[in-house]
Structure 1
Amino acid sequence: MKKAFSIFILCISIVSYAQSNAPFIGKRDFNIMEGYSGTGTPAYYLDVKKNGDVYFGFVQINQASGEETKEEINAGKYNPKVMKVHFKTNDETLYLKFDKEKIYLTDEKGNIQKSEDCCSVSETESGSCTCDSALYQ
């Protein structure tokens, strides 16, 4: 009986830690890369569940045909250093990290990337911008 109770307490502790580890619970939208093509810019989002699981997804509407493409994947438990996200639909792999207010495009080690693809129209003269985005509710 003591063993079963100990295992139960351990499970509760793990679930509690996963819940408190993430900076928020719920769904947030973001836009790190500026879009320029006629296929439409994907609208990305992340959804942090109460158990600490993080889902990333996107919805993209082709501006020419009106065709909608979407995908959502479970990227695992929240990791503040870096999370690997692989979208099979577009064969796209992203490395991301996020806090309560922002999300960052990183390399495999969690270093925040800089790229001209991340510049807004007003920043294009600078040539290289930090790849980040506010998280919108």
Structure 2
Amino acid sequence: MKKIFCVLILCIATLSFSQSKVPFTGKRSFNIIEGYSGTGTPAYYLDVKKNGDVYFGYVQVNQASGEETSEEINAGKYTPQVMKVQFKKYNETFYVKFDKEKIYLTDEKGNIQKSEDCCSAMENDKESCTCESAFYQ
């Protein structure tokens, strides 16, 4: 009886964990790392599907030649803890978590990062800028 009860609890926990409700569906753009004019900073986006699949992508335009580079990857099912994003073209890997309004750059454990690279030109204290971005539609 104990084994059946434990298996039942494990199944319920697995189902509830694996079916985390997505905060929204559709495509949203974001800009965690502040770019500077002329650098060709990639424009990042994510696309959350109704089935919970999360796609991350970017579009980057070379300022000198006008050549466009883009990539989109499937990061798996939505999870509120942390998601790994791994782009192959530029061998770029980062970790994020997001909710309905913002996306956060994190470490592997989900701790939100702080960096001077995340500061806007207007911010004075360049040491303590939280790596986050509002979503744009």
TM-score by length of 2: 0.83
Query: Are 2:123 and 1:106 equivalent residues in the alignment?
Result: no
- Structure 1: gaps (5+ residues): 1-13
How far is 1:76 from its partner?
0.1
- The alignment yields a C-alpha RMSD, in angstroms, of 1.5
Which residue is 1:41 aligned to?
Answer: 41
| Counterpart residue identity of residue 30, structure 1 | F
What is the alpha-carbon distance in structure 2 between the residues aligned to residue 37 and residue 134 of structure 1? 20
What is the alpha-carbon distance in structure 2 between the residues aligned to residue 28 and residue 44 of structure 1? 9
Q: Which 4+ residue blocks in structure 1 deviate beyond 6 angstroms?
A: none
How far is 1:38 from its partner?
4.2
What is the alpha-carbon distance in structure 1 between the residues aligned to residue 126 and residue 28 of structure 2? 28
How far is 1:36 from its partner?
3.2
Which residue is 1:91 aligned to?
Answer: 91
Q: Write out per-residue CA displacement over residues 56-104 of structure 1, whole angstroms, 9 at most, x where no aligned residue.
A: 0000001011110000000000010000000111111010000000000
TM-score by length of 1: 0.83
- Counterparts in 2 of 1:1-137, with a 5 A limit? 18=19, 21-36=21-36, 38-123=38-123, 125-128=124-127, 129-137=129-137
